[in-house]
Chain A
Amino acid sequence: MVSRSDNVAPQTLWLCVHLPMLPVEVFTRGLQTEDIRRPIVVLAQRKVRFLNLAAHALGIDIGSSLDTALTLSSQVVSFERNEQKEFSTLSHLAQWAYQFTPSVTIRTPDCLLLDISGCLKLFGGLETLKTKIQQGLTKQGYESILTTNMTPMAALCLATSNRKPQVERDKPELDGNKSRAFYVASSLEHLPVNCLQVDKKIIESLQQMGIADCKALFALPKSGLNRRFGIYFVDYLQRLLGEKSDPQKFINPDPKFINDVTFLTDVNNTASLRFPINRLISELAEFLTVRQLATNHLSWTLSHRNHSDRNFNILLANPVNEHDMFKSLTLLKLEQIKDVKEIDNLSLAVNNLFPAVNLSGDLFHGTSFQQKDSVKGQQQADMLLNKLRTRLGPGSCYGLSAANDHRPEKAWKPVRLDQKDYWQPNRVGMASTPEPARPMMLLSQPKLLPATCEFSSAGKISDKASVKPPFQPSSFHSSSRGSKHQLTLLKGPERIDFGWWDEEDLNKVITRDYYVATIDNQGSLLWIFQYSNDKRWYLHGIFS
């Protein structure tokens, strides 16, 4: 007994997207128009399996050998069929179709099934939706056939049947007396049996039995078919006609974006990558828009079959979804890539996805009244930072932060700008007692002062306890050769203990005595120190 689910199941409508030229299009999409006009064949086992219109016009047929094709025209471009790539493209398109409905199924090798019963109203009816999908696919470089039916299998049959459906109902109306199976059957009845997605052997025996089209097949009793062809065939028919529920496995929205463009001829200057880059970025922007996502990391790969891949990354200050920013930064980075030889494939991968934050615009937009934390200001700041980091490399830009340590080298730290704590500054120890003067500029490494330096203390107390005239050196070191420098110690010493808690061997513990000093009577103020153990003098900072 067949279960009749029509009365309980809500009315469903399935859309099948068939991509008949997918094996060719995975190679040709993203090409210039003159390239698409070239005859292109896709081979499997040295035989032509798929070809484009230009190749067909030359007289090349499916099944001919590559030699035949090349004899017909030397212009023929051939590719080995890449099923893996077809599948990944199909998955990508399924992700793309996710913008229309969450119920998307992939049917290998070249079909997508979309349950559109719930989204007709949103997209303004079936025809609008179909046009939208078809246009979207054409824009991405894919030819498509769209068919609808009430069961997924029936839609698939219609799509792959390669003929225009004679009867297509926009909105199949069920009346209580007639079952869903009746409508599905009537829409399929003119199809030949070889359109069914079943074993070739079954189709052959059906044809041998004299059953040419589906109408004749549906007229046969199910029990007889069951005995003759087995339970699976009947199960398929029941699912086809909607007499049995046919649950589909829907895709999950992809956590990443990856897409690529292949070139027919090798590209050897980066300037000609502009258009493919634009195309990939448009697709990324669309991907992000329909999912309400944003990203801060674009990873590009330039590859060639004979060379190793060349990667470059675009890092952004904050996750965004802005076509123009992606594009300008990519082109900026591309200008720097000089040593690229040949390219036959360009791919874009994005793994870091963040939920998009929709900010409302500035109320005082366009006026001189700009708040400190205005959105626009933040965006411009991000844009500048992105530009700088893209051209100069992420390591060459840093912010500053104070650290809670009294040792001069450790009292500050550079802040990588993609770290969040940059925006929440570390204010430890800020409110402590007023510190002795610190120089505006610090040397990354203390510099040993040359032995030619002479030191004098301005504050020297003479025998008579009166202040000596300055610049009268009491020489610590002096040398006859090389330029002499005269340093006068003004303020100090400030003794700074140097990390006995970081050092295991307590004998290594040294302290530094820091002084403010002038040099050579120029007016420059230096921050110098003397080690307590070997009494050597170092320059550590400049009071700029």
Chain B
Amino acid sequence: MEQKQPQDLQKTLEKAGMWRASHLHAGYQSGQKQGTPTGFKILDEQLSGSGWPAEGITELLYEHAGIGEIRLLAPALANLSQQQAGWILWISPPYIPYAPALTAAGIDLTSILVINPKNQTDSLWAMEQALASTSCCAVLAWPKNINDKQVRRLQVASKSGESLGILFRPMESVRHASPAELRIELTGNHYSPLVEHSSLDIKIVKRRGGWPTEKFTIDFDDKLHQITPDFSEMAFRNPNNPASDLVFIDPQSSEDRHGFPLR
């Protein structure tokens, strides 16, 4: 008996459901599907399957809109829209997904479908249908209030449909347990005058094959925190140059503008 014990242990360790706290990617190695790369190396390293889970719901929890919750998803969405058939379905987004920004992020607009269900029931129904059908590569939803039973149902639906399901939920729901595959807290980062790009603080609350993490920061490749120097006060101090007339004109474009009619 005693001699067999190591073998038993080995067998137990090889079982698919087992994971060792020391091995984050244990689940992936034993047949779990590879996730959709997030586009952020630091985040990929923290996720089993090296990306957004291919099956199951991901919850993004945040308090204030505008901290980069969609910009965080954008690289993955761009990848999906270009490589896979199927829609990126937006269910009752709080505002209009803005086409020029999506295009700039590399997301193929033809794959985008926006729906605005009139009530919560329809919205959950639509989400379940979309997750279960194999024709959506990603489903993004902003449910007004959703309980854990409903999340469980979506979780089951997403396993059969193999699509990326993202729920945007308020930060306070972190206090309630959720059957979601992955839960991430997002906090906006204060701007600093020394850094031009915006960034986002991430704390993984729940993930497969790992403990919750500490906060870590993701840097976006943008110039949103770039500060345009304000010369208005200097201009104001010049009596010949009132502040109201101060207009930044790109010399290139102004030349064009003036040059064109003369040609």
Contact = CB atoms under 8 A, between A and B. Distances in A.
Interface of A: 370-374, 377-378, 380-381, 383-385, 387-388, 391-392, 396-403, 408, 411-414, 417, 422-423, 425, 430, 435, 437-444, 457-462, 467, 470, 488-493, 495, 516, 518-519, 521-526, 541-544
B98 A396 contact: no
B262 interface: no
A315 to B, nearest CB: 15
A329 B116 CA distance: 19
A444 B96 contact: yes
16 contacts: A377-B85, A377-B86, A381-B85, A392-B122, A397-B114, A398-B113, A399-B112, A437-B222, A459-B227, A462-B233, A493-B228, A522-B188, A523-B66, A523-B189, A523-B200, A524-B188
B191 A458 contact: yes
Contacts of A411: 99-100
Contacts of A430: 103
A488 B191 contact: yes
Interface stretch (B6-14, B41-49, B125-133): B125-133
A523 B40 CA distance: 19
Interface in B187-202: 187-193, 198, 200
A438 B117 CA distance: 26
B146 interface: no
Given A392-B117, A401-B99, A425-B108, 9 more contacts: A377-B134, A388-B115, A399-B114, A400-B102, A402-B103, A437-B101, A519-B66, A523-B67, A544-B66
A443 B190 CA distance: 23
A430 B116 CA distance: 27
B118 interface: yes
A59 B25 CA distance: 85
A116 B101 CA distance: 65
A396 B117 contact: yes
Given A397-B115, A490-B191, A440 B135 contact: no
Interface string B139-167: 00000000000000000000000000000
A381 B135 contact: yes
A391 B66 contact: no
Interface stretch (B15-23, B87-95, B176-184, B204-212): B87-95
Contacts of A387: 129
B223 interface: yes
Interface in B220-257: 222-234, 247-248
Given A392-B115, A461-B229, A470-B193, A526 B66 contact: yes
Most chain A Cβ neighbours within 10 Å, of B94, B96, B122? B96
B174 interface: no
Contacts, number: 210
Interface of B: 63-71, 74, 83-87, 93-105, 108-110, 112-118, 122, 125-126, 129-130, 133-136, 187-193, 198, 200, 222-234, 247-248
A380 B161 CA distance: 11
B136 A384 contact: yes
Contact of A372 (B74, B85, B103, B113): B85
A218 B242 CA distance: 115
B234 A461 contact: yes
Contacts of A401: 99, 109
B110 A438 contact: no
A391 B126 contact: yes
A467 B193 CA distance: 8
Name which of B134, B135, B187 has the most chain A CB atoms within 10 A of its CB: B135
Given A435-B104, A490-B227, A516-B224, A398 B114 contact: yes
A23 to B, nearest CB: 46
Contact of A442 (B95, B135, B187): B95
A441 B94 contact: yes
A492 B126 CA distance: 40
A459 B229 contact: yes
B100 A402 contact: yes
Contact of B86 (A381, A391, A440): A381
A441 B87 contact: no
Contact of B113 (A397, A441, A459, A462): A397
A399 B136 CA distance: 14
Closest 9 CB pairs of A and B: A523-B188, A524-B66, A412-B99, A441-B95, A381-B135, A438-B101, A459-B227, A442-B98, A544-B70
